[in-house]
Structure 1
Amino acid sequence: MHPPATAEAEVADELAAVRPGLLSRYTAGLSGARAAVLTRLWRALAYEPLPWITGRESARGGLVLRLGDGRRLYGPDADPYRTDAYVTAVRLHGTPYDDPARLMTDLAVPHSAGLAAELGHSAASMALSRAGRENHPDEWPESEWGWEQRVVDGHPFHPNCRSRPGFSVAEQLAYGPEHGPVVELGLLPVPAGECLLTGAWPAELRYGGRLLLPVHPWQAAHVLKRHGEATLAAHPLMSLRTLAVPGGPQVKTALSARLTSSVRDISVASVAASDTLSAFGQALAARTDGLLHVTRTLGAATAHSPDLAAVLREPPGAYAAPGEHVVPVAAVATTGLPRSPGWLERFARLCLTVGLGLLELGVALEAHGQNLLVVLSASGEPLRLVYRDLADIRVSPARLARHGTPVPELPARMFTDDPAALRRKLFGSLVAGALAGAAGSGPVLGAVLEPVLGELPSTPDLVALREERLPVKALTLMRMSRERSGDLWAELPNPLSWR
């Protein structure tokens, strides 16, 4: 329908030079990758409060969007919880588009050119990721990183799900978890007196009076312009900048690149708060009757720069008994896991019991498919949850006080007593994110939630989840609102409306 977009051609040229054996698979996968990104973009166009869309109406078995300049954009009915690539083309003022980057370019709205470039990178990188994917057997991975590397397509709902600007093809192959590499983290020596350190720093990452800070090789090459004198072998996880050291911790590194929406550095404030936040997480887990574990932060250090910092975390596998597996929720939809409605219902019951229970206590988790992991029995039954990375939770001092819990000393941005803000944080990540991604469609999600919500204790939060529209981050609006910072929100039809 269209010639290859620039990003696709650039990736093809680089791939021909560095890994020619993947070129035919990459080329064959471009149409499917475009459809996957276009499906995510169509969700945003159908539901986010984009200012240049003035109306939406059903027509001819599909959806018509009215644009501010009088044009019409037509596509299929949009299920905001559907995860398969069901949108293969849309029509803008009568012209068909199967390429999300070209569509965004021709929409010609404020900031569309920048987003179009990101969408082109997203589709090209997804095709590259799929080309390098191994055909996984039904046997479960034996390593903690094996499950993470099965998540090939990235974020299930973000159009920039695989956008990696600033990464060459060779770097994507060398550092992308879906390609299964071993990454050699540089160990950069920094005088201890020039660092902020919280928690403990292991002896093996010290040298004399210096701390050896693990540095991602991309960061060393493109930002710091210097490399460590030694290296630490590790396996990249879903977030790309967090890696698992075999037999050791998971290492969160600073990576000053924009992946999906955010630059992945590590702020000095987050290092300063990490020990307190970790202790708070342990106290929270103790109040869930064993249903939730929170990974501990072992140590965090920064050279007083967001570009040179690292966090050492306890691996989630520490909470698995022999024969059990700890699986990121984003990997639940991959092959080899139970997919029956009964399994999804039991899994949702576990997630909502924990999530709503903590929300009532005063803590809203950002429980998306990357932060939230499930402990499975040898037969695949969901037993417990593990949560990692507390950096973006929200805490209600009023709710904590009501339940006799001391308010910890945390960054001010984490505190709010606004029920809407607390619910947005949990519902948008857990229900519209993790559970929706596992269910794969609105009808399935609604059918799973209906019996579970009927069994849980009635609270104002549960009533809101049952009766109100579901909040979700307006991911595309956020990328097109360059003059504003922070989260922006959309509201989706309540999945119970499909019951």
Structure 2
Amino acid sequence: MDRVDPTPLTGTVGRRADAYAAAPLLNCLLREVAQALPGDGERPAYRLPASGRLLRVRPGRRPADPEVHTAGAWHRVGHTELVELVAEELRRRTGQPGGDLPAEMVDSRDAVAALLDARARTTPPADPYLRSEQSLLTGHPHHPAPKARGGGPPAAWLPYAPEAHARFPLVLLGVRGDQVAEEGDTAALDALGTAPPGYRLLPAHPWQLGLLTRDLAPAFADGRLLRLGTTAFEAWPTAAVRTVYEPRRDLFLKFSLDVRITNDVRRLWRHDLLRLRRTDTAAVRAFDALDAPAAWLSDRGYRTAAFAFEELAVLVRDGLRGHLLPGATPLLAAGLVEGFEGSPLAAAADPDAWWEAYLRQVVPPALTAFDAHGVVLEAHLQNTLVAVDAAGTPVQALFRDAEGAKLLADVSRAAGWERLVYCLVVNHLTEVAAALAEHHPGLDPWPAARRELARHRLPEIPALLSAPALPVKTNLLLRWTGADGAATRYLPGPNPLSGP
């Protein structure tokens, strides 16, 4: 990425940043808190029950132009006023002050403004896969602060931001041999450079290393850690921010990052690392048994330093080439929803056929892994790649992230099913369906989705297709009440599958 200094973010950039940041916050407010009022006008109205305030918005999958009713008239509110409105409502509702969340909402808006400014001076990657990974300017469509970056100045994080089309070399560290902790296949790390005798190579994310300067000073001073320079190549950050891809080596690396992004501080936690091989092995076996082109990108192993087990951990993930069908181009599902130049979703000549092909690739592997192999994939938009052929038709799905996957050996089938329905249907299919319908007016995506789900003989499917509600995650209330980053609570939301 070209190095640029942030400039004052006003005028057009500021207004666009307000709109980008308001949409997911409004989605949360309308889903979790607001009560719809009767009427079906151009701007649906809602009551905020704790404060009694009235709100109306321009509807859509990305609601916009919020207005509040005061002094007998509707008045437009910007993002700052919207944050204040949400904070007032939730303080009254919960009796809690909300911790850092109001500041994170503001930080998320300011981060979007910085990203817009940076994107105006950079060029998106030519590779469509990388372009899809780096397209998420809105990000999670139902999170109050999806682009918050820990409150730091843009200069500290823009060089590592996928949304700003960043790419950068990794820092190479040497860890003294008796201090190495690892499990699984980490051979790819040894090919990144040369470590001196008695040491092993450990790549580090430069942003994370900067955050750890003081903590690691003793290890550098006593020789447990050495600085060995940087990689000869640049890595591209993917949508997950802390996961990078090096195309020539076809190598994914996932790092710890002590920054809160959406609901969690993105550290590779010890308890997740210690169960990683078991979960990943189960997922590999499940996909090996599938009679489908779908693939699992294995988290092959991890390496870290024993004295900074979580802070310096790095995961080695399978690349794409060994899994892709010949001639297929992988694309991030979340990028298809967000939109990027060359997206086949927007360009589909026959959107009904495109959608049926999409469902045929994505749905069966997730259901079969659950029912036949006890693996609950975290099959949401950012963990699913959809490969398309030369005509842009989906021909393969690839899933990733053993850290987020669950095993039915560890959770009840009911809990696993609820999580799968949320990730696959609510978070994933409903968003792709809405984006497709927006680009292709008149399309009804849900009959095809019902047909695809009905083909599978899971005992839970009939209830899924007839239930009045689906579980929707309460990201706003979770964050406001200070829940653990891995916590999940659901509310009932409309079920588009329960049509005729």
* Residues 336 and 246 of structure 1, relative CA distance in 2, 3 Å threshold: closer
The whole-number CA distance in structure 2 between the counterparts of 1:179 and 1:66 is 36
Residue aligned with 2:212, SS: helix
Find the counterpart in structure 2 of residue 72 from structure 1: 53
> Is the 1:100–1:116 Cα contact (8 Å) retained in structure 2?
no
Find the counterpart in structure 1 of residue 18 from structure 2: 34
> Is the 1:256–1:263 Cα contact (8 Å) retained in structure 2?
yes
Residue aligned with 2:227, SS: coil
* Residues 116 and 100 of structure 1, relative CA distance in 2, 3 Å threshold: farther
Q: Which of 50, 57, 64 lines up with 2:37 in the alignment?
A: 57
Q: Within 5 A, what are the aligned runs for 1:342-361?
A: 342-361=353-372
Find the counterpart in structure 2 of residue 375 from structure 1: 387
* Residues 65 and 211 of structure 1, relative CA distance in 2, 3 Å threshold: farther
Matched, 1:204 2:191: yes
* Residues 161 and 190 of structure 1, relative CA distance in 2, 3 Å threshold: same
Q: Which of 395, 411, 415 lines up with 1:416 in the alignment?
A: 411
1:332-387 Cα distance to aligned partner (Å, 9 max, x none): 13232233233123202322222222222222211111111011112211111111
Find the counterpart in structure 2 of residue 467 from structure 1: 466
The whole-number CA distance in structure 2 between the counterparts of 1:151 and 1:299 is 28
The alignment-based identity, stated in percent, is 24
The whole-number CA distance in structure 1 between the counterparts of 2:477 and 2:443 is 26
* Residues 152 and 247 of structure 1, relative CA distance in 2, 3 Å threshold: same
Find the counterpart in structure 1 of residue 444 from structure 2: 447
> Is the 1:473–1:490 Cα contact (8 Å) retained in structure 2?
yes
Residue aligned with 2:186, SS: coil
* Residues 446 and 429 of structure 1, relative CA distance in 2, 3 Å threshold: farther
Find the counterpart in structure 1 of residue 212 from structure 2: 223
1:115-165 Cα distance to aligned partner (Å, 9 max, x none): 22111111221222233336999x994364332122332223222121112
**Which stretches in structure 1 are left out of the alignment for 5+ residues?**
1-16, 398-414
Count of equivalent residues: 453
* Residues 135 and 448 of structure 1, relative CA distance in 2, 3 Å threshold: farther
1:420-458 Cα distance to aligned partner (Å, 9 max, x none): x22222121222222222223697799323223224134
**Which stretches in structure 2 are left out of the alignment for 5+ residues?**
217-225, 346-350
> Is the 1:214–1:253 Cα contact (8 Å) retained in structure 2?
no
Q: Within 5 A, what are the aligned runs for 1:95-494?
A: 96-106=75-85, 107-108=87-88, 109=91, 110-112=96-98, 114-133=100-119, 141-142=126-127, 144-202=129-187, 203-204=190-191, 207=195, 208-225=197-214, 228-232=227-231, 233-248=234-249, 249-304=251-306, 305-333=309-337, 334=339, 335-339=341-345, 340-361=351-372, 362-397=374-409, 415-419=410-414, 421-440=415-434, 447-455=444-452, 456-468=455-467, 469-482=469-482, 486-494=487-495
> Is the 2:6–2:117 Cα contact (8 Å) retained in structure 1?
no
* Residues 472 and 356 of structure 1, relative CA distance in 2, 3 Å threshold: same
The whole-number CA distance in structure 2 between the counterparts of 1:351 and 1:273 is 26
TM-score (norm 1): 0.82
The whole-number CA distance in structure 2 between the counterparts of 1:342 and 1:140 is 29
Q: Which of 80, 89, 95 lines up with 2:66 in the alignment?
A: 89
Residue aligned with 1:230, SS: strand
Find the counterpart in structure 1 of residue 348 from structure 2: none
Letter in 1 for 2:37: E
> Is the 1:130–1:153 Cα contact (8 Å) retained in structure 2?
no
- Superposition RMSD on alpha carbons, in Å? 3.0
Residue aligned with 1:316, SS: coil
* Residues 66 and 295 of structure 1, relative CA distance in 2, 3 Å threshold: closer
* Residues 29 and 19 of structure 1, relative CA distance in 2, 3 Å threshold: closer
> Is the 2:295–2:399 Cα contact (8 Å) retained in structure 1?
yes
The whole-number CA distance in structure 2 between the counterparts of 1:102 and 1:223 is 36
- Displacement of 1:313 after TM fit? 0.9
Find the counterpart in structure 2 of residue 412 from structure 1: none
TM-score (norm 2): 0.82
